[in-house]
Amino acid sequence: MDEQLFSKEELAEILKEATVNENKYLDTTVIDGKATEKSINTISLNNQLIFTVGNDFTGYKHLRERHSRFTYKNYWIKTEDGTIKLDRPSKFHPDMAPGIDYTKIADAIFAEENKNVTINHRPDVFDKYTGTYAHKDNPPEKYHLLTYKDTKIVHTMYPDKKKHNLKAVAKFGKGHVKATRQLNPENDYADLFIPYEDPEGKTAYSILIRKFYQEQIERVFIQQHGENEAVESLFLLGEREIHDFASFDHPMMSHFQHRDLIDYEKIINQMAEGAETIEIDPSTFRW
């Protein structure tokens, strides 16, 4: 999909709305069920920076989905040799509240002395501001803010470093963790499913933790999926005894969504590379 930025006409419309109804948006978040991508979400208190609802490419939606620690949309980039690889954009501190802290950061670094002090790859479209901000008792961190040229309309903002990113090595993007329960007297089990997606958003590999209640055994697998996302093969990593009939709950789903899974991802990469034998240390997989 081609990049969709705001046109000059749309920017003029946004600026007019921000000027006429500034008090409506100043230091508050406006939620409107009829909002469009060019609708204003908020205006920052100190410098009156305008955060639009935006889309996948610009504005608050782009900023939040690409750089928030707790959103899991996968991004892919094409390298100089034409290879498609997983992009890993820098993430904000996990304790930050997007609707509050993002505007504070933007206000802190939006200053003339911070303008274009680092490389601006698109100076004809955006102004770039680079400065530091300290979140609570944490050390100051460097951030970059891009606004549409000669305006206070925010295009995006992001941390300079990737210190808050999950550790990851997979060549595929982690998707949304799911939990299901199969209620069948002859085959009662519960699943925790962690998908890893290809550039088309299809599940290529997955981690499956399954509780077999009749056997009172829990097993963890790596699954390989075909073009239609059906499981074509699986690899058993380990198993352990269980002594309850509890399903996988939300805390367990969140645990696997928000933790690094490097040891599992190394196995996925080996399988993707067609390794004939895969060596694992069972003690590594303490799930």
pLDDT per position as a tens digit, 97-122:
888 999 999 999 999 999 999 999 99
Predicted confidence at residue 71, as pLDDT, reads 81
In a domain, 1, yes or no: no
The answer to whether residue 148 is domain-embedded is yes
**162-166, 189-193, 272-276 — which is least confidently predicted?**
272-276
283 pLDDT band, cuts 50/70/90, is low
Q: Please list the helix, strand and coil fractions of the chain in percent, rounded to the nearest 5, in that order.
A: 20, 30, 50
Domain-terminating residue out of 159, 183, 202:
159
Find how far residue 99's CA is from the centre of its chain: 16
Same domain, 84 and 206: no
Residues in the chain: 287
23 and 139 in a single domain? The answer is yes
The predicted structure's pLDDT at residue 185 = 67
pLDDT surpasses 80 at 170: yes
Domain stop point among 132, 159, 186? 159
Q: 79 and 193: one domain? A: no
pLDDT value, residue 72: 78
Q: Does one domain contain both 117 and 194?
A: no
- State residue 200's pLDDT score: 93
Q: Determine the pLDDT at residue 282.
A: 64
pLDDT at 278: 79
Count of structural domains within the chain: 2
| Cβ atoms of 92 and 106 closer than 8 Å | no
Task: For Cα atoms 228, 236, 242, give the angle at the middle one, nearest 5 degrees.
Answer: 115
Rounded distance, CA 120 to CA 142, Å?
Answer: 15
pLDDT of residue 41 exceeding 90: yes
Establish if 134 belongs to a structural domain. yes
One domain for residues 12 and 154: yes
Mean pLDDT within 81-93? 91
The strand pairing partners of 210, in sequence order, are 191, 219
Per-residue pLDDT band for 131 (boundaries 50, 70, 90) equals very high
> Can you count the helices (H) and strands (E) in the chain?
6, 13
pTM: 0.86
- 260 assigned to some structural domain: yes
What's the rounded mean pLDDT across residues 214-230?
94
Q: Please answer whether residues 93 and 164 qualify as being in contact, where contact means their C-beta atoms are separated by less than 8 angstroms.
A: yes
Quote the pLDDT of residue 101: 94
Residues 82 and 179 both lie in one domain:
no
In a domain, 166, yes or no: no
| 22 part of a folded domain | yes
Range of the domain at 235: 173-284
The reported pLDDT for the residue numbered 50 is: 98
Same domain, 135 and 22: yes
- Nearest-10 crossing angle of helices 59-67, 98-109: 100
Q: CA quadruple 31, 32, 33, 34: dihedral positive or negative?
A: negative
Kindly state whether residue 165 falls inside one of the protein's structural domains: no
Angle at CA 28, nearest 5°, toward 112 and 22? 65
To 10 degrees, the CA torsion angle through 166, 171, 172, 174?
-10
Check whether residue 120 and residue 190 sit in a common domain.
no
Asked if 149 and 244 sit in the same domain, the reply is no
Q: What's the token pair of residue 85? A: 């690889």
Helical spans, DSSP H, in the chain: 8-20, 22-25, 59-67, 98-109, 250-258, 262-272
Please check whether residue 69 lies inside any domain of the structure: yes
End residue of a domain, out of 100, 132, 159: 159
What's residue 256's pLDDT?
93
Whole-number pLDDT of residue 284: 66
pLDDT at 70: 83
Same domain, residue pair 53 and 155: yes
Residues 248 and 276 in one domain: yes
The reply to whether 231 and 111 lie within a common domain is no
- State the pLDDT confidence band at 26, using cuts at 50, 70 and 90: very high
